[in-house]
Structure 1
Amino acid sequence: MVIVSADNVELSPDEEATVGLSLRPLPAPVPVPSRQQPPLVYRLEDPEAVFAAARAVHQQVLGVEVDSRIYLIPDEERVEETLVWRVEYEPADRLRLSVSGQLDLGSLELWLDDEPVRLSDLTANGQQVAEDGSVLKEVRLPKPGMGTYRLRVRFPLSVTLQQWEPGSALPCTVPLVMPRDGQLVRNRATLITRPGIRPVLRDAAWELEENGSPAPVGLASWTLRATQPASAIRVGLVLEDRAALGLTRISRGWVQTWIHPAASQEQAYVRRDRAVFRFVTDRRLLPVRLPPGTRAAEVAIWLDNQPVTPLRGPEDRLHIVLGEPDGAEHSLELQYSLPVQRAGSMEWAFQLPQIGEQPWVERCYWELILPGNEHVVAVPEWLTREYRWGWTGLFWGRIPVMDQVQLEDWAGTVHRARPAGRTSRYLFSSPEAMGVCRLVALRRSWIVLAGSGMALVFGLFLLYLPAGRRVVVLWVGVVVFVAATLLWPGPALLLGQASGLGVVLALLAAVLERTLGRRRQTRWWPETSSSVLERGSTQILQPLPSEGLSTRTLPAATPESSV
């Protein structure tokens, strides 16, 4: 005799009240329905046998264990959770969850028993929000059943461990996914960081375990536990060693920034950047910060001369997958474009791309290419000017010490087409990472107007004001000119060449003044009235003295009296 009970019915045989039955193992060929409790098999020894047992009818029981691993590692911030349900007595067709309201649902990745699944709303009316602000969701099972169900959840953290000063505490809130139903058997969370980053617990719902889970090799860990479901963990992260953020050494860097007018009227200029870095790092993911306004989807990236697809990060950040650190030097090349405007009427502001977090830079060049009618007149002091003065056609100008081909060979990258059209090229260098570069650039017409205008005004000053030709005034002018040339040789040379038109106009004014002045002096004979000539006067007019030509008036002539 085989006795099979329902899953929610628990039978406890009463051996004293049971008569004429002996318990036996189940024969192999006998098929029985699969139930949560094993079947009871008896051998009938008496026709008047009696089976007696205590019966208990159970409701559905859910037991849940939650293990969370929180990786607070720079550029690898993420959460990996494992939720294990034990379903007993009655089958379940769904698993209900409480998702933190601070979590982006689109970033969640879920696997149910190693099969990818998606979250669903509890009702057809859309998602529901609990009192604590968490969102109620569910995972539907392929078919109703009992037993053990394992759900794995993974999502990135929005916290960014950047621009962090040693000794300061960075506030961090870690959202979590928790079970909505069932009895919480265990709720454990492990914080994993690099040595040099120490978490400080700021959440009363959690407490620190003394003997927690072992940390992965080369990392540090802290284990927390909670007795109730908690949708978040609030901690403060203290940076004790800057090396915990990772080390990146850039041996050679070259950034080429080309500014040219836009084809459409909606944009004034288009900026095209090409950046090449040779580096060594101990990170698995290399962070790349792009200038604001760059479309990450349109960035072309080559790692060791092979095209790669980056991982998208928050805002203007990308991550390049490098794999396990091996100490080898890598080459990274970026190409992108973005619209750009002047920061002012004369100022340009450029945010250059950066890799790593506060990298150690040995040498980095920045090549700036502006339209041919623009000239740089002022740059930050921390930039070293890498050019020499020489003849560029008909003018004396700045020539970079290396052209594009030489820079490509120096950076160890492939040769690509040069920027087309008439341009003005400048080359700068820096022994540190370049951030925001602000410089002053003027159009050639403005420089010619300023230089020629000053030259013309100075020439007219000397021409029409005799006081300006005194020796003291001339000496002061020479001293000011020499001092300005020594302090600002580049702008002074540009103004000197641009003042040519003003010098020519001043010389022309001097020639005209001398020529017209001589003509006025030769016309010394005064004009006489025609009425005097008509009267046939016999009075002889004497020439006027030279000092009174302009102010003296001749006496009126009187006719001779008749005899």
Structure 2
Amino acid sequence: MMGLALGSLLVVGASVGWAQLPPPPTVADKAQAAPDAKPTTPPPMAPATSEPSAKSSTEPQSPPVARPVQEAPPPLYYLRDKSGNLVPVPGFRLEDFEQMVKRQYGPSAAEQAPRYALQAFQATGKAQADWVELQVRLNLVTREEGWIRVPLRLDQAVLRSGVQYEGSGEHFVQFDSGGDGYVFWVRGGTEREHHLTLDLMVPVVRLGAATRMKLVVPRAATSELKLVVPLADAVAKVTEGPILLPSTPEGKTATVLNLAGLGGEFELSWGKEADRPSETQPVLDVAGTIQWKVGSRSLDGEVRMQVRSFGAPFDAFQVRLPQGTELVPVKTAPYTLSVLKPAQPAAEERAVVEVRLPKKTVGPVEVQLAARLAWEAAGAAAWAEIASFEVPGAARQAGHVAIRADSQWRVLVGPLRGARQVDELPKALRTDDVAAAFEYYTQPCALPIRVVRRSPRISVEPEYLVLVDADQVRLEARLKYMIRAAEVAALDIDLPGWELDELGPENLVATDLVVDPSGLRSIPLAQRSIGPLELTLRAHRPIPPGSQTVAIELPRPRADSQASPVVVLLPADNVELTPDPQGMVGLVRQQVAPQMKLPVRQQDPFFYRAEPSKAKVVAHLRVHPQKVSVAVSTEIAVDEHRAEVRQKMAYQVAYKAVDRLSFEVPRSLASVEPLSVLFEGRTLRLVDAPDPNDEHDVSRPARKQVILPESRIGACELAIRYAVELPGLVPRSSVAASIPLVMPAEGELSGNRLWIAAPEGIRVRPRGGPWTEAAAPVSELRRGLHLTAAERVREIDVAVHLEDQSSAGSTVVNRAWIQTWLTHSLRQDRAVFCLTTSQKSLDLVLPVGVSPGEVELWLDGQPITGQPTPELRLIVSLSGAGGQREHRLEAAYRIPGPRPGWGRMSLELPRLARDVWVQRLYWQLILPGREHLLFAPPGLSEENRWVWQGPLCVREPLWEQSQLEAWAGARQLAEPPAETNRYLFSGIGSMNRCDVRTVDRTFLVFGASMAVLAAGLLLVYVPASRHPAGLLVAALAAAAAAVVYPSPTLLLAQASLLGVALALGAAWLHGALARQRRAAARETPSSILERGSSRSSRRAVAMASGPLPAARSEEAPVSTTDFRA
């Protein structure tokens, strides 16, 4: 343990030091440390001047010519160094700054090579009636390792088949709904070519006789599109961006449209010149949103259309409804809806609704229709068309369809034409119960669906608690259902032979069970439910009188899947239940208790796992009557005036709980103060109990009872306290006294014990009767008279004798030495008394736990035998004539059982009874080598000294055992081992008990070192803790502790040396790291700038007083590490 503690302290100190290591500098740190350049104007002492004239001063001077003001070369810029001082930098240019930044951070993003290059985009296709079949080939080159993301766009296209890839890399294609469309991911290395082929379908929109196709393509180095349209001499138009090349005929009925320079979004349209719509006719564009709600009998739809005209204004249009759909009248304003009647009604005719506006307009106009499709009209298993709300003659019709349905319905989709299923819907159609979403892009379209009701999937996990009583079997069941796919209105369960008592909870169950002719019970629910559901039920079945076997079948809930039920079989306290393994059906015994809350019973339950199909419990039954046993323990404390009686009655109730306890109280107690009754710490009232014989006999004890707070079974305890006055005691005489006792009125008496204790000078002896003296167990040793009786005894007769203290004699102990030796497992004491007495006998009081018969006595060097008393004393007879005599009494004994552990200990010492004057007392305490004394006992003086033993100080007693034996005149025995810790204390007077505190060496070193280490780390890393006031208070507290408790202070100081060393190491490591960081922070600028700073200042002064030298062509080197504005 000592090595473990030292290792833990070393690991803590090293981890604290390691945590202070500075992190490596990052690019961001370097950039932050670099100064910024900031040009400043030259100082006033260095103004700009013009060049001096080359002519002699004697020549006549021409009038001055006006010249522009020029800056005196070289220009000066001032940069801040790390100390914040301005340092001049001559000739610093913008190019120098850009070059420095490039060296520091590398080239800009614009100068970096792309991760991939799209070399070519080639598309060929053929137009069909409602879409364009398109084949796209892409060639690209990757320039980096790892996965590369290549957006392909093509948002409007639908991928018809898998992607064809040619190359040596890994790849996959995904669709990004966020805006990049199809995305090609590839990983193939640097400078690798990749070829990709996609087969697509692109929807087209018809606007009159013209056809339009909209597409978004990626930008490539070269791109082209060849599209074959089924129209001779077709005229094509393209939006801004691609280049439309001349078309070429493809046979007599088709034309090839050629485009180049594709990139981004574009729209291509084609048609005949003569087929363009006339501006005098309305050209309608219809955008619709259709929402269907699935009901139990019909489909309810809401249709919204936005209609506008690209040609002439309009004031009416028609809407052809899907087959079997009827219009639901709703309030419409400002337009009107009317259903047109066909001239010749037919079964397959679709209803036509005419929408008429109040005036002509080009729109857009929003029209709302309510429609209904009954299941009878479509047929129970027929397909229903829901999207073909067609506006005849409209140039373009497109929109979205949403189908709303709850979890009990399933939507089946048939073959689509002119529509497709999508994941995203417009915001107006988004709801939580959308079961399917579609987009249609032409009318008439085909979107057939069929709605079928889902079959519910029910799973159940049953838990059964079977309570077996004497006359019936009760069942408490908890059924945990999980309902999926569809809602249910009722749950079925089979209860063979059970009578239902309660079904719940009330908020889930509607009414009582419904029983069908087969006996199956149906539990109706308050509302149709889905998801998790938990039901509880209580049932019972009677047990025939005199039956010795019980056989029951467990409930069987009807479900699609059922977990193995958990079965707990719990008999009542008065029922002995023995399961019959041969008769059990479908039950497997379990050892692990399930997570269930069980009622408190005296018997252990039986745990089983049952088969879901059928399980049967069979057990043998035996009913026991109630059995009550009680053990009475009485303690009587006698003094000169009264006897204090404390009785404890320990009940053991078996088979059936009790709710009240009865007692027989002697009539003589009626005149004393009321009895105090405590039941497990609670005060109860003692009341009269009815006499079972209905007789009132004053010669018999009174019958009383207490009502318990709750019924109890098993072990319980009740305490009764009262006092009895005694006759007056006369010294040197005995008085007879009768002490009444309370006895239990019911139950079997399992024990009746009694202790009588009296102070010194009073002796108590029993006066016959059923009481017999007995030895108390070692665990219950106490001073006093120990008696037992085999029957209920309502009183005890005793003789109380009071001694005459005035004639008892006197005893003076001149020298007393007591040695207490504690080992890891026991305690051994040795006591020597050198005394002068006039008494004929001595009373040696022993500590509790010592058996008087095991004490070894020597009187004046001769072994003797003492007379034990019930009060744990030994009477030692003294020989010799009257008068004062000198004797030497030595006693030795050991206390069996484990000794108290280290920490706080209260040690009772042997002593002489009566009034004994002890003039000098030495107490020697011997502890194991790894256990140290922390605090000395109060009332004694420490007789120890501190001496050096190697590098540490240890305590040694002033006198060792041999010296104490010679001082007290005791027998010479072997010295204690040198590895033990020995302590010596002295005092005057008799000592009954010594309180000491000891500590284990491992705990002492570890605790003290950890405390010092924590304080040291606090001083190192928390500067506020190093405040002078705080340090002064800590120093004063340590000095006060050393003065008041010198020995514990020195002991703790030595134990904390390891913590001091670790704290000093942490402080040194912290200082070294701090110096390293300060040295790194003081990184100096370029030496050229430092040397040029003073010369630049002198040069500025020279330029102010004389001509400037010729400017040098070379550039001044600039430091790129310490650049700061």
User: What TM-score, normalized by structure 2, do the two folds share?
Assistant: 0.26
Deviation, structure 1 residue 407: 0.5
Aligned partner letter, 1:323:
S
- Structure 2 CA distance for partners of 1:324 and 1:474, relative to 1, 3 Å: same
Query: Once structures 1 and 2 are overlaid, which stretch shifts more, 364-373 or 476-485?
Result: 476-485
Kept after mapping to 2: 8 A contact 1:162/1:357: no
Deviation, structure 1 residue 492: 0.8
1:506 aligned counterpart, secondary structure: helix
Kept after mapping to 2: 8 A contact 1:367/1:425: yes
Name the residue aligned to 2:1013.
456
1:407 aligned counterpart, secondary structure: helix
Residues 40-66 of structure 1: CA distance to partner in whole angstroms, max 9, x if unpaired? xxxxxxxxxxxxxxxxxxxxxxxxxxx
Deviation, structure 1 residue 174: 6.4
Aligned partner letter, 1:311:
Q
Name the residue aligned to 1:507.
1064
Deviation, structure 1 residue 465: 1.5
Kept after mapping to 2: 8 A contact 1:451/1:498: yes
Kept after mapping to 2: 8 A contact 1:253/1:411: yes
C-alpha distance in 1, partners of 2:976/2:1029? 51
Name the residue aligned to 1:395.
952
C-alpha distance in 1, partners of 2:826/2:1025? 49
Q: 1:284 aligns with which of 835, 840, 849?
A: 840
Kept after mapping to 1: 8 A contact 2:1012/2:1060: yes
Kept after mapping to 2: 8 A contact 1:173/1:235: yes
C-alpha distance in 2, partners of 1:291/1:236? 24
Name the residue aligned to 1:297.
853
Aligned partner letter, 1:451:
A
Residues 393-427 of structure 1: CA distance to partner in whole angstroms, max 9, x if unpaired? 43212221211111111101221112235111111
Q: 1:474 aligns with which of 1013, 1025, 1031?
A: 1031
Name the residue aligned to 1:207.
none
Name the residue aligned to 1:114.
none
Kept after mapping to 1: 8 A contact 2:922/2:984: yes
Name the residue aligned to 1:117.
none
Kept after mapping to 2: 8 A contact 1:362/1:431: yes
- Structure 2 CA distance for partners of 1:370 and 1:243, relative to 1, 3 Å: farther
TM alignment of 1:109-120, pairs within 5 A: none
Deviation, structure 1 residue 343: 5.4
Query: Once structures 1 and 2 are overlaid, which stretch shifts more, 484-493 or 450-459?
Result: 450-459
Deviation, structure 1 residue 473: 2.3
Deviation, structure 1 residue 246: 3.7
Name the residue aligned to 2:1055.
498
Larger relative CO (CA 8 A, sep 6+): 1 or 2? Answer: 1
- State whether structure 2 residue 921 is matched by structure 1 residue 329: no
Aligned partner letter, 2:838:
D
- State whether structure 2 residue 879 is matched by structure 1 residue 316: no
TM alignment of 1:96-495, pairs within 5 A: 162-163=759-760, 175=767, 237=802, 242-261=805-824, 269-323=825-879, 325-326=881-882, 327-339=884-896, 346-420=903-977, 422-495=979-1052
Deviation, structure 1 residue 328: 1.7
Aligned partner letter, 1:385:
E
1:294 aligned counterpart, secondary structure: coil
C-alpha distance in 1, partners of 2:1037/2:1011? 14
- Structure 2 CA distance for partners of 1:173 and 1:258, relative to 1, 3 Å: closer
Kept after mapping to 1: 8 A contact 2:933/2:998: yes
1:502 aligned counterpart, secondary structure: helix
The structure richer in strand per residue is 2
Deviation, structure 1 residue 329: 0.5
C-alpha distance in 1, partners of 2:840/2:808? 12
C-alpha distance in 2, partners of 1:247/1:372? 42
Deviation, structure 1 residue 344: 6.8
C-alpha distance in 1, partners of 2:878/2:757? 19
C-alpha distance in 2, partners of 1:162/1:282? 22
Deviation, structure 1 residue 310: 1.5
Kept after mapping to 2: 8 A contact 1:450/1:495: no
Kept after mapping to 2: 8 A contact 1:282/1:325: no
C-alpha distance in 1, partners of 2:1039/2:1048? 13
C-alpha distance in 2, partners of 1:173/1:315? 12
TM alignment of 1:13-162, pairs within 5 A: 162=759
Residues 483-529 of structure 1: CA distance to partner in whole angstroms, max 9, x if unpaired? 11111111111111111001100011112222233333444599xxx
How many residues are treated as equivalent by the alignment? 315
Kept after mapping to 2: 8 A contact 1:248/1:356: no
1:297 aligned counterpart, secondary structure: helix
Deviation, structure 1 residue 161: 6.8
2:1077 aligned counterpart, secondary structure: helix
Residues 295-324 of structure 1: CA distance to partner in whole angstroms, max 9, x if unpaired? 222221111101112112114211112135
- Structure 2 CA distance for partners of 1:475 and 1:232, relative to 1, 3 Å: closer
C-alpha distance in 1, partners of 2:1002/2:962? 31
C-alpha distance in 2, partners of 1:234/1:309? 27
Aligned partner letter, 2:1120:
Q
1:416 aligned counterpart, secondary structure: coil
Aligned partner letter, 2:819:
Q
Deviation, structure 1 residue 337: 0.9
Deviation, structure 1 residue 475: 1.7
- Structure 2 CA distance for partners of 1:446 and 1:243, relative to 1, 3 Å: farther
Name the residue aligned to 2:1076.
519
Q: Alpha carbon RMSD of aligned pairs, Å? A: 3.3
Residues 345-376 of structure 1: CA distance to partner in whole angstroms, max 9, x if unpaired? 61111111112323111111100001111122
1:433 aligned counterpart, secondary structure: coil
C-alpha distance in 2, partners of 1:321/1:260? 33
- Structure 2 CA distance for partners of 1:525 and 1:303, relative to 1, 3 Å: closer
Deviation, structure 1 residue 432: 0.5
Residues 28-85 of structure 1: CA distance to partner in whole angstroms, max 9, x if unpaired? xxxxxxxxxxxxxxxxxxxxxxxxxxxxxxxxxxxxxxxxxxxxxxxxxxxxxxxxxx
C-alpha distance in 2, partners of 1:416/1:350? 23
Kept after mapping to 2: 8 A contact 1:369/1:423: yes
Query: Once structures 1 and 2 are overlaid, which stretch shifts more, 272-281 or 390-399?
Result: 390-399
Residues 213-270 of structure 1: CA distance to partner in whole angstroms, max 9, x if unpaired? xxxxxxxxxxxxxxxxxx9676674x7x744444221111101111111xxxxxxx21
1:329 aligned counterpart, secondary structure: strand
Aligned partner letter, 2:961:
Q
Aligned partner letter, 2:962:
V
Kept after mapping to 2: 8 A contact 1:249/1:359: yes
User: What TM-score, normalized by structure 1, do the two folds share?
Assistant: 0.51
